[in-house]
A and B are shown apart, each in its own frame.
Chain A
Amino acid sequence: MHVRDGRRSIEPLEMDAVPTESRPQTPANERGAILLDLMMACGVALIVGGALVTTSVRQSAHRAVNHETTLANNAIADVFARLRGLPFADLPSLHGTGFDVPNHLGGPGGLTAQPGDPDGLPGEIQVAVYASGGSTVLYRVTVTVAWRGAAGNRRERVIGLIGERRS
């Protein structure tokens, strides 16, 4: 700012008026810092990528477990409906019988039996007398599906009571 003839005049600022010495200088020991940045970026990328893959794998496993459980429950419900349709006197003879679980397209082998399963079939029917009185018998029917799937060994079990149908 200058004072000329009692009037003040403002001169434009000059951009290069700032002395070079006042600029921040990159210290010598910061050279190559970009490599450190890269490594950090790689680390972050690896963590994000790993998380993404883990999420995807977990989601697939979760879906597979749901899928397997649905197949097992469908097979159990089907077996119970068929048991109800059989002659009542035939029920005890089905104790220990195994059955297959259909896959999602209706074909055989939907689930794999657990290692050591005697008949190699994932399903099993167990029939036991629950109560009896006079000529009336009530059977306790347990239908189990035990399989080895995406989350290791799993089992679904439904227990029902079946009595003789009148009329």
Chain B
Amino acid sequence: MSDRTNAESGVSMLELLLGVAFLLPLLLGAVQLTQTVGKTVDSNATSSQCMAQLQRAFQTTAEFAQSCKMSTLRMRAVASDVALGLASAVGEWIEPSDLVWRPGLRFLSASGLLSMNARLSTSQREIDFVLDPGEVDNDLDDDGDGMVDEGQIVLLHEGTRVAVLPNVEHCQFMLEGRVLQIRIGVARRGGDGGVERAVLQRSVFLRNN
């Protein structure tokens, strides 16, 4: 069947070998490049999702807290409060002193039912940080998921507790006059197994007495 000339004999194999020798590094480079680009895209996506999650967490918490009446504001006591005799136990709801980071807020809000009337109050509201099962507040990753002391932000609204924001590593509040500082840290696991973190500390001005 074959009717090749002498000049063409074996050329195909030589060409094939040359082609393989030439294309193999090229293909390896392409694979490596694709992997690098894939990792970059994945990392970018995780980082963006982490930032978006943080913004959402802050927005939800800040909007909920901003309408609070300062006279009704209480915070969960920390160890320094107990040491100063402001509370009998850690976690007790106390009238807050300034410049101490504390977890959890309890307050009544202006209902907003009547325009410019801040006297009407809502039912009691709370913002609390609740650790996930299997996590202990010890700055360690107890459940082995890559996140440290993670939990959820839980809101008490109209008598119902709603866990609104998962994968939160910390959520703290500090009062400074009428300015409430909120510090939230979130974490998110990426496709490559790494954990992306982001922290936002921002102030909210409390208008209502």
Contacts and interface: CB of A to CB of B under 8 A. Distances in A.
Contact of B51 (A42, A70, A77): A70
A106 interface: yes
Contact of B30 (A28, A45, A81): A45
Contacts of B140: none
Interface stretch (A3-11, A59-67, A127-135): A59-67
Nearest to A33: B15
Interface string B181-201: 001010000000000011111
Query: Interface of chain B, helix or strand or loop or mixed?
Result: helix
B178 interface: yes
Interface residues of A, number: 37
- Which range holds the interface residue count of chain B? 35 or more
Nearest to B38: A56
Contact of B8 (A23, A26, A84): A26
Contacts of A84: 178-179, 205
Interface stretch (A47-55, A91-99, A140-148): A47-55
A63 B202 contact: no
Given A45-B26, A81-B203, A31 B44 contact: no
A51 to B, nearest CB: 10
A52 B34 contact: yes
Given A85-B177, A104-B198, A106-B200, A38 B205 contact: no
A26 B5 CA distance: 10
B41 interface: yes
Nearest to B199: A106
For the complex of A and B, list the 6 residue pairs with the smallest distance between their C-beta atoms, beginning with the closest: A85-B179, A81-B203, A106-B199, A84-B205, A56-B37, A81-B205
